[in-house]
C-alpha cells in the first residue's frame, strides 16, 4: 500500500515530445504524430514526506480481527483493574467531609473513558460548580442536569463532565456488581411507586440542600439515539414542588408538604449527548447501533463489541439553565427542557462544525476537568447564585 501511494504521489507524467524543427511542415500539412510519454521522478517535497510519515498501515482480513480482539481483551483487563481500585478508594472518601468524593467520582469516570479511548467534546458552559456545603452557604443554587439517554456510555461521559450524582431506577441496585458500584457512587435509586415517592423525593431534596447536584434521564428509558423521546413531567417534581394554597399554610396537609429553602429552588440545565465520531469518522445512522443500548439488548455483548473499536468521541452540549419559577407547571418545564435537548441532539447528529471558541475538551489526566473548573473563585456563574437583598 505504501509503494502504491509513493508511486501515485511522487511519480509524474511528463510530455517528452520534442518541438517541431523549423524545416518541418506545419501540423496542418502533415500526419499527426503520436507523442511518447515516460515516467520521471519529480522533486520530493516536504509535504510528500509528511504524507508518507502519516500513513498508518492497518492489517486486513484475519489479522485485523485478531488485532481488534486483542484490543478488546486488553481494555477489559485494564477496566477490571481500574474499577475496583478506584471505587474502593472512593468508599474511603465517603467518610471524609467536603467535596473530595465528588471530585474523585469524576476522576473515576474520566479514567474509564480514557480506557475506552472515549474523547469528550463539551459545547457550552456548565451551570453551577462542584457544589458542597460551602457552595450552598455562599448562596449557590443546586442544579439538576436533564439529558437524553441512548446508552450506558451516558453515565461515564456525563459523570466525567458534570460533578453530580445520578438518579437511577431501583432495579440497578440489585445488580451483582453495578449495584455495589452505584451505591458507593452515591446514586439515588427510585422505584417509581406511589408508596415510595415521598421518601425518594425527600432524599433528593436532602442531597440538593446538602451540596450535591443531580443528573436525571427524563425519557424514562434509553433510545436508539436517532431521536429524543418525550420527557416525563414526573421527573421534574423535585424542581417544581406543588404550592401550598393561600389560607391553608397552617393545615396538617400543608405542613407535610416539604418545600425548598428560600432561594434554593434548583435550576434545570438541559444537556444533549451524541456520539458523533468512530475511529475519526463521522457517525451516521448506520453506525449509531455501535453506541446505542436500549430495549432488551444484553449488556455483555454490547460492551465486548464496543471495546474493540480503536477510538470514539462523544459531544456534550450544555444549554442555558432554566429557572422552574419561570414556568407555570411541571409540564411546561418538561416541554421546554425537551425542546432544548432535542434540538441540540439533532444539531450534533448533523456533524456540523461548531465554533472553536465555544468548544472544550474534557482533560483526561485531570479526570474530566474543564477550563471552567480551573478558574478561580467564584466557582459558579451569577445565574446560579441567590440574589442578595
pLDDT at 149 over 70: yes
Give the integer Cα–Cα distance in Å for 124 and 224.
25
More confident residue, 352 or 215: 215
In Å, how far are 108, 248, 333 from 157, measured between CA atoms?
A: 11, 45, 25
- The alpha-carbon radius of gyration of the chain (Å, integer) is 29
What average pLDDT score do residues 177-187 get? Answer: 80
**Mean pLDDT for the stretch of residues 229-248:** 79
Q: With a cut of 90, say whether residue 73 has pLDDT above it.
A: yes
Residue 12 in this model has a pLDDT that exceeds 80: no
- How far does CA 271 lie from the centroid of its chain? 9
Grade residue 117 by pLDDT with cuts at 50, 70 and 90. very high
CA distances from 226 to 223, 281, 306 (A): 8, 18, 18
Report the C-alpha gap between 32 and 254 in whole angstroms.
Answer: 104
Backbone angles phi, psi at 183, to 5 degrees: -65, -40
Grid cell at residue 43? 522533486
- HSE-CB of 237 using CA atoms within 13 angstroms: 13
How high is the mean pLDDT of the chain?
Answer: 79
Res. 367: pLDDT tops 80: no
Tell me the three cell numbers of residue 90.
472512593
Residue 74 near residue 105 (C-beta atoms within 8 A): no
Q: Looking at residues 149-175, what average pLDDT do you find?
A: 88
- Averaged over 176-181, what is the pLDDT? 73
Q: Whole-angstrom Cα distance, residue 278 to residue 58?
A: 16
In this structure, of 47-56, 199-208, 264-273, 323-332, the range with the lowest mean pLDDT score is 47-56
Rounded to whole angstroms, how far apart are CA atoms 311 and 71? 11
If pLDDT is split at 50, 70 and 90, which confidence band does 36 have?
low
pLDDT at 196 over 70: no
pLDDT over 80 (residue 217): yes
Of the pLDDT bands very low, low, confident and very high (cuts 50, 70, 90), residue 389 is very low
- Percent pLDDT > 90 in the chain is 38
What tens digit of pLDDT does each residue of 158-170 get? 999 999 999 888 7
User: Of 164-168, 252-256, 273-277, which gets the smallest average pLDDT?
Assistant: 252-256
Segment 284-289 mean pLDDT: 89
Average the pLDDT over each of 202-211, 235-244, 285-294 and give the range with the smallest value. 235-244
Give dist(CA 351, CA 347) in Å, integer: 7
What are 343-352's contacts with CB under 8 Å, separation 24+?
A: 344/270, 344/272, 344/317, 344/319, 345/148, 345/227, 345/228, 345/272, 345/273, 345/274, 345/317, 347/272, 347/317, 348/272, 348/274, 348/276, 348/315, 348/317, 349/226, 349/274, 349/276, 351/276, 351/282, 351/283
Asked if pLDDT for residue 277 goes beyond 50, the answer is: yes
Residue 60 has pLDDT above 80, yes or no: no
The closest of 84, 87, 157 to 364, measured between CA atoms, is 157
8-state DSSP, 191: -
pLDDT above 60 for 28: no
- Is 1.10.10 the CATH number for 62-241+260-276+283-369? no
Residue 339's pLDDT is 96
Its pTM stands at 0.77
Helix count (H) and strand count (E) of the chain?
Answer: 11, 11
User: Which residue did the predictor score with more confidence, 264 or 338?
Assistant: 338
- Per residue in 83-105, pLDDT (tens digit) is 899 989 988 998 888 888 888 99
Confidence tier at 261 by pLDDT (50, 70, 90): confident
Q: Where are the domains of the chain?
A: 62-241+260-276+283-369
pLDDT for residue 18: 45
What sign does the dihedral 138-140-142-145 (CA atoms) show?
negative
Amino acid at each position: 500500500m505504501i509503494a502504491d501511494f509513493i508511486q501515485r504521489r511522487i511519480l509524474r507524467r511528463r510530455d517528452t515530445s520534442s518541438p517541431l524543427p523549423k524545416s518541418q511542415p506545419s501540423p496542418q500539412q502533415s500526419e499527426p504524430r503520436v507523442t511518447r510519454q515516460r515516467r520521471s521522478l519529480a522533486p520530493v517535497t516536504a509535504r510528500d514526506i509528511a504524507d508518507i510519515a502519516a500513513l498508518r498501515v492497518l492489517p486486513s482480513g484475519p489479522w485485523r480481527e485478531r488485532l481488534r480482539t486483542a484490543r478488546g481483551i486488553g481494555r477489559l483487563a485494564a477496566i477490571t483493574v481500574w474499577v475496583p481500585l478506584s471505587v474502593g478508594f472512593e468508599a474511603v472518601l465517603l467518610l471524609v467531609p467536603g467535596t473530595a468524593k465528588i471530585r474523585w467520582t469524576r476522576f473515576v469516570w474520566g479514567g474509564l473513558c480514557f480506557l475506552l479511548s472515549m474523547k469528550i467534546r463539551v459545547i457550552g458552559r456548565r451551570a453551577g460548580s462542584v457544589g458542597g456545603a460551602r457552595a450552598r452557604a455562599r448562596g449557590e443554587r443546586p442544579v439538576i442536569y436533564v439529558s437524553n439517554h441512548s446508552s450506558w456510555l451516558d453515565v461515564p461521559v456525563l459523570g466525567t463532565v458534570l460533578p453530580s450524582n445520578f438518579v437511577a431506577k431501583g432495579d440497578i441496585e440489585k445488580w451483582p456488581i453495578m449495584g455495589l458500584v452505584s451505591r458507593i457512587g452515591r446514586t439515588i435509586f427510585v422505584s417509581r411507586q406511589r408508596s415510595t415517592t415521598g421518601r425518594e423525593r425527600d432524599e433528593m431534596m436532602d442531597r440538593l440542600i446538602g451540596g450535591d447536584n443531580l443528573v436525571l434521564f427524563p425519557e424514562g428509558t434509553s433510545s436508539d439515539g436517532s431521536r429524543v423521546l418525550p420527557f416525563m413531567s414526573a421527573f421534574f417534581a423535585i424542581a417544581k414542588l406543588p404550592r401550598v394554597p393561600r389560607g391553608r399554610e397552617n393545615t396538617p396537609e400543608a405542613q407535610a408538604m416539604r418545600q425548598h429553602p428560600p432561594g434554593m429552588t434548583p435550576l434545570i440545565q438541559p444537556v444533549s449527548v451524541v456520539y458523533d465520531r468512530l475511529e475519526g469518522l463521522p457517525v451516521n445512522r448506520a453506525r449509531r447501533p455501535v453506541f446505542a443500548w436500549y430495549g432488551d439488548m444484553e449488556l455483555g455483548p454490547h460492551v465486548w463489541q464496543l471495546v474493540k473499536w480503536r477510538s470514539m468521541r462523544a459531544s456534550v452540549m450544555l444549554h442555558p439553565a432554566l429557572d422552574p419559577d419561570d414556568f407555570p407547571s411541571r409540564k411546561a418545564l418538561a416541554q421546554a427542557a425537551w425542546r432544548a435537548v432535542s434540538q441540540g441532539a439533532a444539531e450534533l447528529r448533523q456533524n456540523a462544525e461548531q465554533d472553536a471558541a465555544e468548544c472544550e475538551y474534557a482533560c483526561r489526566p485531570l479526570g474530566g476537568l474543564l477550563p471552567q473548573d480551573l478558574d478561580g473563585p467564584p466557582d459558579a456563574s451569577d445565574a446560579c447564585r441567590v440574589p442578595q437583598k
